Amino acid sequence: MYAAKESRGMKEAISETNRRRAIQKKYNDDHKITPLSIKKAIRDSIVEEKKHELSDVEKIDISNVPPDELSRLIKDIELKMKLSAQNLQFEKAAEYRDQISEIREQQDKVKFSKKIK
């Protein structure tokens, strides 16, 4: 614990920890036990679940979307993004946010090309 001043509660917690540590050390010495850190492999299923969660967002080819549909598409993706964030799927929400940015860039290009003509 770190503090500028040691409170009564901190002193009690530290002394209790030290008391338990002494008991554990005596037990380990009496029974010739050398404590070791545990070593666990990362389970493949957890890694696969994370990959699956990230790949749920389908990529949209916006080059085939008519320019007048881009606004509706942004609204649909924003709903999906907000729902993902509410469900604590922040990686998925970030992917939706990136899609929205790409679509807005496409919209700006369309608007700019119409102004030039």
Q: What is the pLDDT of residues 90-116, one digit of tens each?
A: 889 999 999 999 888 887 876 666 666
Give the Cα separation of 27 and 21 in Å (integer).
Answer: 10
Q: How far apart are CA 89 and CA 76, in angstroms?
A: 17
Cβ density class 22-36: b for 16+ within 10 Å, e for less: eeeeeeeeeeeeeee
Q: How far apart are CA 83 and CA 79, in angstroms?
A: 6
Question: Alpha helices of the chain — where are they, by DSSP H?
Answer: 8-30, 44-54, 70-86, 90-116
pLDDT value, residue 33: 94
Largest Cα separation within the chain, whole Å, is 90
- pLDDT one-digit tens code per residue, 30-71: 999 999 988 877 766 665 665 555 556 777 777 777 777 888
pLDDT at 63: 76
**How far apart (Å, rounded) are the C-alpha atoms in residues 117 and 114?**
5
